[in-house]
Structure 1
Amino acid sequence: MLFGPQVPVAPTRPENVDGLLESILNPPAPLEPAPSERKKKKKRKEASRKSLDDKNAPSRSKRERVKKKSPSLPVPELPEVPKDMTCMYPSVWKMLKYRRKMTAGSLHKPVCVTGVDGFLAAWIVAELLLRGYKVRGTVQNTRDDVSKLYDLPHAKKNLTIVETSLLTAQSCDLAVEGCDFVIHTGTPTSCSVRDPFSELNEPGVYSISSRVHCIVPMMNNFITACIRAKVKRVVLTSSVAAMADHVDLSSSIDENAWNSTSSLERNPHFLSLKLAEEAAWQLVKNESMQLISVNPGTLVGPSLCNDKIPPGTQVIYDLIVGQYSALVDFNYAFIDVRDCAMAHVLLLENPDATHRYICVNRTVWMKEIVQILSKNGYSGRNLPYQVELPGWVAMLPSYGIQLGQVGVSLYSDDPHREADSPYSNSRLLDILHFNNIQGFREVKTTILDAASDLLKWKLLKPWDEDHVDFKCQCCNAPFTALRRRHHCRECGKLVCGDCSVSRAIVEGFEDAKQRFCDNCVQKSVPESLLRLQQATDQVHQRKAVIVLESLMENQNNHDLLARSNGIPILLQALHCPDDL
């Protein structure tokens, strides 16, 4: 309760009344939402619009409804730094081996290799298959035995063999169709490399005129087919015979050399090799296709495909079986066939490879070959005596067959010669070193592998060394001055004379009947009778009859034939009208 007089007070006005009235009469504009809220609102509108469009639009497949990935943000480019090419001389850069290495086209496209049933081409196919390539091989006749090629690693999946006649242009087109890379070995193998042993046996088939008149058309057909098929690169197998007719210690042959001496009268097979390579270079002169030629010497080594003796390995075979009685100054431009095959593949892959490459390891004399064989298990064979005959002896028929072979020369050795061979192989060694290959195989390895291959194909019979056994392998009687050691020509074991009375015709010694030990007789009679009973191949039947007839000259073998019930079988074969 208030005491005293009551004084009236004027009513007070609330604060901010003017601002409040102004805000009611003129409301402020709404505040803008935050950026994140703006995006969400926009997305909701787009989603609602899209749902309405999807309802009106026709149904789409699942693949069409998959959202596309948003493009990645561009990466800012760095400023290009100018290259300093003056820091090193080109020759030094070349020595450092900073070079490109390419693969021969796509692994899905096949590499065509001609003449895959040949000595060299079979090893090329093996190397390509190991590197993962698909290979299309050609042969002149599909009836030839090429089953060994299908036993190579990856061959069943990546190897195809077709029949191709190089004398037919259409056949060449089918061989190289769809191929970017080709290795052509077929022409030299089939026509130009001299095979005097075949010429001697079948002169009508393997004649000089047939080679010279066929080789140039075959080369023209095949190289032209490669040009039509847009092939990028062809590696051609030629020979050192296309570079020189003959060499001596003063000769120096490089990749620019051409044979200007051979003619139809003098080494016509060398002339055919030169004409074939010249024709190939003329055809690609104005074309974009790259051509590389490999010029090997005497190819020696194991055979991969068949049991035919190559011309180079024939030299080793002749020395082992006693074809030569003494030494002559023959020398050979040796190269291992496996090294030559590797060179073909490396040149196919190297983009910097151009022109011609000499593929020769070094010169090897006949004397060195005989010494290697005699020190490594072949001393008991009929090797030549270590006596050097004068040069005119090489003109005799028994030696003259070697003259004219590819890579064979006749001149004496000089211990102070400057080079290992008259043929320069520096360009090819540069390719090998670039691929971390130190060089070619040792000559000793090549010779021994070739000799072992002759044993594997049963072209040579095994032969024990005289110092291996000191007693007979049949009766175990020790050898003495009266009981001399002999070799069985079938198994090669050391036996005494009493245990090797039988004589028979042995493969590899068809000129006369050879010594058979009693153990081989016990095996040969049942095997020959079984071969006669099977009656599948007349050639094998004829051989079986000849073996049995010669073994029956020893009366001790009659009982074995009777106990094997072989008398009626042998009589029936002898009176067979098929002239066994």
Structure 2
Amino acid sequence: MRKVLLTGISGFIGQHCAVALLKSGYAVKGSVRSLSKATRITEVIAKEVDPKGNLEFCELDLLKDTGWDEAAADCDFIMHVASPFFSKVPKDENELIKPAVEGTVRALKAAHKAGIKRVVLTSSMVAMLGAVKGDEHITQASWTDVHAKNATAYLKSKTLAEKAAWDYATANGIELVTIHPGPVYGPTLSSNLSGESMTLFKRVLTGELQQMIHASINMSDVRDVADIHVAALENEHAKGERFIVASEKAYSYKDITTLLKNSGYEKVSTKIAPTFMVKLLANFNSEMKGMLPYAGKKYEGDISKTQEVFNWKPVAFDKMVLDTAIAVQTVLDA
């Protein structure tokens, strides 16, 4: 049985990747920062699929060399999902950039030492935003300009980490595939609503968030993201490619709130914050500053290559939004 070293298994995307891998017949070695998380993660995954003894854990830190070579030694593939993410702009941008870049390089180095042929890396559409001016048509060839005025620490972290991965893979003969979701939603497998995606829906559903920013981008269902990660492991046409895994067109945050409101979620507000107000507040609020690359803008990605290579059709936008809402509301009602 082929084994995959899956970094970041405790996260929203990581848990879905673990389930998709096990369902596809792979053994999974999931990395966590502390092995104390292993029991809880196993319980979450076991609700979706019986691991049948094919799930194990190892302890890895994106900022430390310890354990990487040993973790990769008996694996056939690496799926590097782990990367820091929060929308607020940190005081020091290296809080995001350093672990993202160094962790990615550690994963590639471990693959090279272990003789692993292919690595699948979770990147993002934020690594493809061009000059970060909006109204961008995004393709596989698009890259974010990290020197652009509104390039935040998160945009820089994903872009620089991916570029470091391509440089190392090219120099060392590793087959690299990068996966680029937009904002990722879909049902959570756990009761943890602390991640960015689940927190947004929680705040919207409870009425805490009264205004959304005016912004549009292709949005992603976590189930699609996980499935394409798995499909990319052995698809011969995937090597050396960047794949946008998201909806066929761009959607706005107002599209989300309007759908929820029309579906009976009464506390949801459909108001939109004026873009000038977001820009003003960004001078004083780190969360608003993190929204500047998107406020008042539209980014539209071309998913045709992903559809062609994987014979794939994304989960419908309405299903993604409503399945997310149901999952979050279930946790809130528990």
TM-score by length of 1: 0.52
| Counterpart AA for 2:279 | M
Q: Which residue of structure 2 aligns with residue 149 of structure 1?
A: 45
Q: Which residue of structure 2 aligns with residue 478 of structure 1?
A: none
| Counterpart AA for 1:159 | L
**Alignment of 1:302 onto 2:194:** no
**Alignment of 1:178 onto 2:178:** no
Give me the whole-angstrom Cα distance separating, in 2, the residues matched to 1:180 and 1:373: 42
Q: Which residue of structure 2 aligns with residue 483 of structure 1?
A: none
Q: 1:372 aligns with which of 259, 263, 269?
A: 259
* Contact 1:403–1:409 (CA under 8 A) maintained in structure 2: no
Q: Which residue of structure 1 aligns with residue 243 of structure 2?
A: 357
Q: Deviations over 1:26-57 (max 9, x none)?
A: xxxxxxxxxxxxxxxxxxxxxxxxxxxxxxxx
* Contact 1:169–1:225 (CA under 8 A) maintained in structure 2: no
| Counterpart AA for 2:57 | I
**Alignment of 1:114 onto 2:7:** yes
Instruction: Give the deviation of 1:195 after TM superposition.
Output: 4.1
Instruction: Give the deviation of 1:370 after TM superposition.
Output: 1.7
Q: Deviations over 1:341-387 (max 9, x none)?
A: 111111112111132111221321122212211121202x1x22x55
Give me the whole-angstrom Cα distance separating, in 2, the residues matched to 1:152 and 1:387: 37
Instruction: Give the deviation of 1:257 after TM superposition.
Output: 1.5
Counterparts in 2 of 1:111 and 1:261: CA distance versus 1, 3 Å:
closer
Counterparts in 2 of 1:265 and 1:367: CA distance versus 1, 3 Å:
closer
Alignment of 1:160-559 (within 5 A): 160-186=56-82, 188=83, 191=84, 193-196=85-88, 208-244=93-129, 246=132, 248-249=134-135, 251-262=136-147, 266-326=151-211, 328-354=213-239, 355-361=241-247, 362-379=249-266, 381=267, 383-384=268-269, 386=270, 390-395=274-279, 397=281, 401=287, 404=290, 409-411=294-296, 422-433=300-311, 437=312, 439-458=313-332, 461=333
Q: Deviations over 1:145-194 (max 9, x none)?
A: 323124442314211112122333341111111212111101x2xx2x22
Counterparts in 2 of 1:181 and 1:328: CA distance versus 1, 3 Å:
closer
Counterparts in 2 of 1:367 and 1:214: CA distance versus 1, 3 Å:
closer
Instruction: Give the deviation of 1:315 after TM superposition.
Output: 2.8
Give me the whole-angstrom Cα distance separating, in 2, the residues matched to 1:252 and 1:293: 19
| Counterpart AA for 2:315 | R
Give me the whole-angstrom Cα distance separating, in 1, the residues matched to 2:80 and 2:288: 27
TM-score by length of 2: 0.87
* Contact 2:281–2:288 (CA under 8 A) maintained in structure 1: no
| Counterpart AA for 2:141 | N
Give me the whole-angstrom Cα distance separating, in 1, the residues matched to 2:155 and 2:23: 34
Instruction: Give the deviation of 1:455 after TM superposition.
Output: 2.0
Q: Deviations over 1:275-299 (max 9, x none)?
A: 1111111111132320111111100
Q: Deviations over 1:433-480 (max 9, x none)?
A: 2xxx4x11111111111111112222xx48xxxxxxxxxxxxxxxxxx
Q: Deviations over 1:400-444 (max 9, x none)?
A: 8356359x723378xxxxxxx6211111111232xxx4x111111
Give me the whole-angstrom Cα distance separating, in 1, the residues matched to 2:224 and 2:318: 14
Counterparts in 2 of 1:276 and 1:350: CA distance versus 1, 3 Å:
same
Give me the whole-angstrom Cα distance separating, in 2, the residues matched to 1:377 and 1:183: 39
* Contact 2:193–2:328 (CA under 8 A) maintained in structure 1: no
Give me the whole-angstrom Cα distance separating, in 1, the residues matched to 2:273 and 2:185: 25
The structure whose Rg is larger is: 1
Q: Deviations over 1:456-511 (max 9, x none)?
A: 222xx48xxxxxxxxxxxxxxxxxxxxxxxxxxxxxxxxxxxxxxxxxxxxxxxxx
Three-state SS of the structure 2 residue aligned to 1:153 is coil
Three-state SS of the structure 2 residue aligned to 1:143 is helix
Give me the whole-angstrom Cα distance separating, in 2, the residues matched to 1:360 and 1:253: 12
Between the two structures, name the one with larger relative contact order (CA 8 Å, sep ≥ 6).
2
Q: Deviations over 1:200-247 (max 9, x none)?
A: xxx79xx63322233322222221111010001100001111122635
Q: CA RMSD in A?
A: 2.7
Counterparts in 2 of 1:183 and 1:393: CA distance versus 1, 3 Å:
same
Q: Which residue of structure 2 aligns with residue 72 of structure 1?
A: none
Instruction: Give the deviation of 1:136 after TM superposition.
Output: 1.1
* Contact 2:60–2:66 (CA under 8 A) maintained in structure 1: no
* Contact 1:136–1:159 (CA under 8 A) maintained in structure 2: yes
Q: Report the count of equivalent residues.
A: 326
Counterparts in 2 of 1:363 and 1:404: CA distance versus 1, 3 Å:
farther
Counterparts in 2 of 1:247 and 1:253: CA distance versus 1, 3 Å:
farther
Q: Which residue of structure 1 aligns with residue 24 of structure 2?
A: 131
Three-state SS of the structure 1 residue aligned to 2:301 is coil
Higher strand share: 2
* Contact 2:7–2:81 (CA under 8 A) maintained in structure 1: yes
Three-state SS of the structure 2 residue aligned to 1:286 is helix
* Contact 2:80–2:104 (CA under 8 A) maintained in structure 1: no
Counterparts in 2 of 1:218 and 1:366: CA distance versus 1, 3 Å:
closer
Counterparts in 2 of 1:402 and 1:373: CA distance versus 1, 3 Å:
farther
* Contact 1:339–1:440 (CA under 8 A) maintained in structure 2: yes
Instruction: Give the deviation of 1:112 after TM superposition.
Output: 1.3
Three-state SS of the structure 2 residue aligned to 1:280 is helix
Counterparts in 2 of 1:264 and 1:224: CA distance versus 1, 3 Å:
farther
Give me the whole-angstrom Cα distance separating, in 1, the residues matched to 2:173 and 2:27: 24
Give me the whole-angstrom Cα distance separating, in 1, the residues matched to 2:70 and 2:303: 35
* Contact 1:237–1:293 (CA under 8 A) maintained in structure 2: yes
* Contact 1:248–1:422 (CA under 8 A) maintained in structure 2: no
* Contact 1:241–1:259 (CA under 8 A) maintained in structure 2: yes
Three-state SS of the structure 2 residue aligned to 1:132 is coil
Give identity over the alignment, percent. Answer: 24
Give me the whole-angstrom Cα distance separating, in 1, the residues matched to 2:64 and 2:286: 36
